[in-house]
Amino acid sequence: MKKTIILFLSFLILYACSPQNSKLLKNQKSEKTTTPKKSKTKQYTDFVKKDTKTDDGLFKVHETKDQFMYEIPKSYFGKEMLLVTRIKELPADLGGGYVNAGSKINTQVVVWEQFKDKILLKVKSYNAIANDSLPIYKSVKANNSEPVIYAFDIKTQNQDSTAVLIDVTKFFSTDVKAISGLPSYYRSTYKVRRLDPSRSFINSIKSYPENIEVIQDFSFDSDAPPSNRSTNTITMRINQSMILLPEDPMMPRIYDKRVGYFSMGNVDYSSEALKADDKRYIRRWRLEPKDVAAYNRGELVEPIKPIIYYLDPATPKKLRKYIKQGVDDWAKVFETAGFKNAIMAKMPPTKEEDPEFSMEDVRYSSIRYVASTTRNAVGPSVSDPRSGEILESDIIWYHNHLRSYRNRYLLETGAANPSARTLDTPDEEIGDMMRMVIAHEIGHALGLPHNMAASYAYPTDSLRSGSFTQKYGIAATIMDYARYNYVAQPGDKNIRFIRQLGPYDHYAINWGYRRIPNANTPEAEVKTLDKWISDKANDPIYRFGAQRFDPSAQTEGIGNDQVKSSTYGVKNLKIVAKNLPDWTSNQTNNYDDLDELYGELLSVWGRYAGHVAGNIGGVYEYNKKPSQTGDIYVPVAKDVQKESMNWLQKNVFETQSWLLDKNILNKVDETGYTSKLSRYQNRILSSILNYRTLDRMIEADVIEKNNYTALSMIEDLRKGIFSEIYSTKNVDLQKRNLQKYFVERMNALMNDKDAKSTDISSIVRGELTTLKNQLNSASRRNVNKITKYHYNDVLEMVNNILNPK
């Protein structure tokens, strides 16, 4: 054994001493002791080079060829910023034509945070909050984790290590869903497959003192695009705005649904109550008086920072004064709230006056004039979700919008207003319309939503008074859709036909913007705010109403008696219809305007009819607090509903031969006019014969015993629409179509899953059974062949509903 061990050791010594193996061992030792080479760390100058374009602002933005870098100061880590995604340009008919350039797609609060060698862009939610000094704050944070939109590699630091560089090229040039301008419902509707990277790129990134603006050009492959279908493409231009939120948030004002304001809310877990509090604040600009003591004494005081709108240089010169007036009109309204020169419009400074000025800069609000065939104007704004403070606003006016106003002016006021009887409306009157549209959109940008109840505040007959309309206008606020005075009749003198600001506007701005002395919390303001409401509570001029089931809060209506107002309106329309060729085609030697205006005339008639139909099954809504007397929900009186039904039978469900004037129809279309009229008749019928209307009528029986019942209403409807079955009178084409649609609506109600467990299905079955018996008798009467065929056809429809196969 000892001999074996000696031999083995001798072998190892000889092996190690051989030249080849000695070299191998030496190399192995060398590998263990040599320090590996460090990779070269990227320096600031590797990214910011001589040919790099740098734009300094909120962050420095570095552009080298097609690469974009953000230089984010570390002092901005954790600071809250608002990320707003808007559509800047879009294809025709996106969203069915209801989406416009400038539309906001998403608004979210974001923060930049460092995690190891990454910079995270996280979304911070204000849906749930708590005081950070309370123990529950930890639970709120734990149960509302902030999602990470994107993680960026830190490329390097700046030369004094106060900022980091990240590459944002991929973030803004690829399809990041959190900031996409094409939401999921559009992707589904238009069968979007993917973003095509070869046709998508960053157009520009510009940095301003308080915001960064990114413009993206994106092309999506789509199997069903909204327009240009042969291309299988949706191309959009998206605007991403990142805005630094104020270090010191404005003190919020608590929302009250009795006064109309846009609002934003959250759930506050700091409450001592047995549940979390739902808190909601109004949206408004931060107006602070320069001289607080003078303001508190009731003197008019200028704000530290007034609201200024800059006009787009592309605005036609002849229109600028009207746009400016539309903004400046609100200055007088703000005086009611104690502020002098609080709002104004200006032309932007020239390049010589301010070379850095840009309407993309969040510090400047603007009124854009857009060369587009869209007939619209919008007044969007951006708000701080922590406080409701409006930070900036861009009113958008589309070039063709005035054509809609010219048309409506002619149709709705032409009977009583000689200057409206032309395609060439006088400049001053067109200008006045534009002024009021701008004033309306500015109202939205100040925080005011539509107030459709304001037009109901004025008695219908007062709208025929020159002295009344010149002083008070045609509605109590510019925020109603009450564009024209269609009530005034031929011969009425000194009438104001175009809307204007009203007393409600002064009331609402005072309520939302007046500073309350010694109230240092939102809660401390409530007592005073309540008093301002209760002082005006019984005056309809100061009522706010949202458009839902309330017939006193309908879009486009004026006057407090829908039946009377619509009677005046239809009377005027009949005069206009008779003269329409003389006012259009006979002047232009062209039928295009006649065709367009006839189509819009049908629409106006349909609106007047809709105002009356709203009474049937309608419920007035009077928002109140328990300290106020009276009910919140009040069904429309039985006699008003019955009167409305009689009006509809005469003015809608009977064939309106004045709308089928051969002097117009045989000039504008070879066919289709009866179906156009039928669509409006059917729409009115659908508004009455639907589950929600009938359900309100049935529920009203529980509260109001002397109510217009659902049974009585459908019975009256059947008798009126099928009035010919009681005689040997033949049924004309228009009425035949309407009778069939009545049966279709009854069938829909029979099969409505909600209606099956209510009285609605019983009433429908009973009325259809009665109709069946009447049709059996009517089909044997001495009527023409088409009427007999029609009765048999409708009878078959009814049998199939009552006894489905």
The per-residue pLDDT for 34 is: 42
Cα angle 777-778-779, degrees, rounded to a multiple of 5? 95
Least confident of 129-133, 601-605, 727-731, 749-753: 129-133
Segment 612-648, tens digit of pLDDT = 999 999 999 999 999 999 999 999 999 999 999 999 9
How far is residue 425's CA from residue 363's CA, in Å, rounded to a whole number? Answer: 38
374 within a domain of the structure (yes/no): no
Mean per-residue pLDDT, 120-149: 65
The per-residue pLDDT for 273 is: 55
Mean per-residue pLDDT, 289-294: 97
How far is residue 599's CA from residue 665's CA, in Å, rounded to a whole number? Answer: 11
Most confidently modeled of 272-281, 373-382, 545-554, 676-685? 676-685
The per-residue pLDDT for 23 is: 44
Residue 552 has pLDDT above 70, yes or no: yes
Mean per-residue pLDDT, 542-558: 91
Residue 115 has pLDDT above 90, yes or no: yes
- 468/666: higher pLDDT: 468
Least confident of 35-44, 451-460, 596-605: 35-44
Residue 252 has pLDDT above 80, yes or no: yes
156 within a domain of the structure (yes/no): yes
The per-residue pLDDT for 756 is: 85
How far is residue 281's CA from residue 263's CA, in Å, rounded to a whole number? Answer: 5
How many C-beta atoms lie closer than 10 Å to residue 154's C-beta?
Answer: 16
Written as six digits, the tokens of 236 are: 């959009």
Least confident of 151-165, 283-297, 392-406, 582-596: 392-406
pLDDT over 90 percentage in the chain:
72
192 within a domain of the structure (yes/no): yes
How far is residue 110's CA from residue 420's CA, in Å, rounded to a whole number? Answer: 52
Nearest to 57 by CA among 204, 163, 209, 213: 209
pLDDT bucket at 284, cuts 50 / 70 / 90: very high
The per-residue pLDDT for 99 is: 74
67 within a domain of the structure (yes/no): yes
Q: How far does CA 477 lie from the centroid of its chain?
A: 19
Q: How many domains does the chain have?
A: 1
- Residue 154 belongs to what domain range? 51-244
210 within a domain of the structure (yes/no): yes
Segment 663-717, tens digit of pLDDT = 888 888 877 778 889 999 999 999 999 999 999 999 988 877 789 999 999 999 9
Least confident of 6-15, 94-103, 214-223, 696-705: 6-15
Residue 271 has pLDDT above 70, yes or no: no
The per-residue pLDDT for 420 is: 96
620 within a domain of the structure (yes/no): no
The per-residue pLDDT for 92 is: 84
Residue 38 has pLDDT above 50, yes or no: no
Strands 192-195 and 211-222: antiparallel
> Cβ contacts of residue 73 below 8 Å, gap of 6+?
59, 162, 163
How far is residue 425's CA from residue 385's CA, in Å, rounded to a whole number? Answer: 44
Residue 137 has pLDDT above 50, yes or no: no
58 within a domain of the structure (yes/no): yes
Residue 267 has pLDDT above 70, yes or no: no
Question: In Å, how far are 268, 278, 521 from 273, measured between CA atoms?
Answer: 11, 12, 19
The per-residue pLDDT for 39 is: 45
123 within a domain of the structure (yes/no): yes
Nearest to 450 by CA among 437, 460, 440: 440
Residue 730 has pLDDT above 50, yes or no: yes
Mean per-residue pLDDT, 386-398: 88
pLDDT bucket at 139, cuts 50 / 70 / 90: low
Residue 144 has pLDDT above 80, yes or no: no
The per-residue pLDDT for 5 is: 44
